[in-house]
Amino acid sequence: MKAAILLILFITGVSGAQTSAEYEAWQTAKYLGINVKPFPQLAGYDDIPPGASEFRFRLQKRPLTGPTPPPSYETRNLVKAKASDGTVYEAYAGTYDEKKVWPGPGRDSSNMNTRQQYAPHLGYGYIGPDVFIGTRDRGRIRTSLFFRDFGSHATAPHFISVDSRGHVHLIVSDVNISDDNELNVYSLIGDPKSRKWTDAVMLDRRGFTSWSHPWAGAWRDKVFSLWNWGDATYDKNNANMGLFFVEWGPSEYGRKVRAVPGFIETYDAAIDPVTGLLVIVASRDDGVFVVSRSSAGQWTKPAKLDPTLNERTDVSITPAPNSTFIIRTDRNRSEVLLRPM
């Protein structure tokens, strides 16, 4: 492994005067134990075909049966995913010193061994939070897989799912202020039994990013990954903003697709466990939209959830019996049961 990395550095000319991107590539490979491969469609994406049908559904308004979605700015540092054998894996985004994980991988993280370069903050060295993945043991996580410092934006930086083999899939939206808020979206696969990462891909790379929150879900032998990208500061009308999707299968990744165009401030997704239908609910300044993708890969075009709702609102979606979905919004604390047609 070391010989391979040294050969790459020799070929690319990486030396002591490394760029930030070269330093990050070197450090990431060193700490993961494998190189990160670029996604073939890194700089591009497909839009949903113009000829696709609009998502059709029926709605049933009903009293709240659960909590309304939390504000999009609220920190979400813990996510969970259940394997087919019932094992629940947890992924905590934070630091070892917070006493949320047992001693193990990540214990030695410091500003002396970061995965990427950070500018000093108020004269102090900065270290981005880490991701600790494992199972709960007496109130703390026993770490099986570890991802070192994911950047400066820590509101909702990661998500996990577990495929049919029991391997954990981690998606990370890495935004580093020191790199002018550049976004790097990492997709990693790890075997918690061997405690090793087996595959790493850079799904997306963008310029200045106001926020990007990933999501992932598994159905049978497939894993679906989502992330949003937008710039609310310098380029509010960028035509490439939106919510992006990639499917992973046992042999390869599929094409990158923009599921919903525009500046997506908040979204959620759910998979029907029987049919594999993926339904996404996404909120923009002009309202809330829903879009679907069948297990065979057929997309519908986004449709407005409620024609009278013409503003941004926080949203959530969960699967329900009989291939229906529960959608909640914080606008008027409402809930609807969505039945695809």
pLDDT digits (tens, 9 = 90+) for 33-68: 999 999 999 989 999 999 999 999 999 999 999 999
Taking the model in full, what pTM does it have?
0.92
- For residue 4, is pLDDT > 70? no
- For residue 120, is pLDDT > 80? no
Taking residues 129-143, report their average pLDDT: 97
Query: What's residue 121's pLDDT?
Result: 62
How does residue 275 score in pLDDT terms, banded at 50, 70 and 90?
very high
What is the spatial order of strands in the sheet that 46-47 belongs to?
46-47, 257-261, 242-248, 222-229, 214-219
How does residue 5 score in pLDDT terms, banded at 50, 70 and 90?
very low
- For residue 3, is pLDDT > 90? no
Q: In this predicted model, what pLDDT tens digit does every residue of 63-83 receive, in sequence order?
A: 999 999 999 999 999 999 999
Supply the Cα-derived Rg of the chain in whole angstroms. Answer: 20
The token pair that represents 216 in the structure block: 């992932």
At 53, the amino acid letter reads S
Gap between the Cα atoms of 80 and 133, Å rounded: 9
Gap between the Cα atoms of 173 and 216, Å rounded: 12
Taking residues 128-145, report their average pLDDT: 97
- Residue 122: CA count within 13 A, CB half-sphere: 0
Paired strand residues for 59: 338
- For residue 237, is pLDDT > 80? yes
Paired strand residues for 22: none
Mean pLDDT, the chain, whole residue set = 92
* Listed range (120-134, 139-153, 294-308) with the worst mean pLDDT: 120-134
CB 136 within 8 A of CB 90: yes
How does residue 12 score in pLDDT terms, banded at 50, 70 and 90?
very low
- For residue 32, is pLDDT > 50? yes
Helix (H, G, I), strand (E, B) or coil at 79: strand
Query: What's residue 122's pLDDT?
Result: 61
The token pair that represents 122 in the structure block: 């108020």
Gap between the Cα atoms of 148 and 181, Å rounded: 18
- For residue 229, is pLDDT > 90? yes
Query: What's residue 331's pLDDT?
Result: 82
To the nearest 10°, report the CA torsion of 258, 262, 268, 274.
Answer: -40
- Residue 308: CA count within 13 A, CB half-sphere: 2
Query: What's residue 126's pLDDT?
Result: 76
How do beta strands 46-47 and 257-261 pair? parallel
Question: For the chain, what percent of residues have pLDDT higher than 90?
Answer: 82
CB 312 within 8 A of CB 283: yes
Check residues 276 and 178 and name the one with the higher pLDDT: 276
The token pair that represents 143 in the structure block: 């770490």
Gap between the Cα atoms of 284 and 260, Å rounded: 10
To the nearest 10°, report the CA torsion of 168, 275, 327, 307.
Answer: 130
Taking residues 95-103, report their average pLDDT: 96
Question: For the chain, what percent of residues have pLDDT higher than 70?
Answer: 93
* Listed range (33-42, 203-212, 229-238) with the worst mean pLDDT: 229-238
Check residues 217 and 12 and name the one with the higher pLDDT: 217
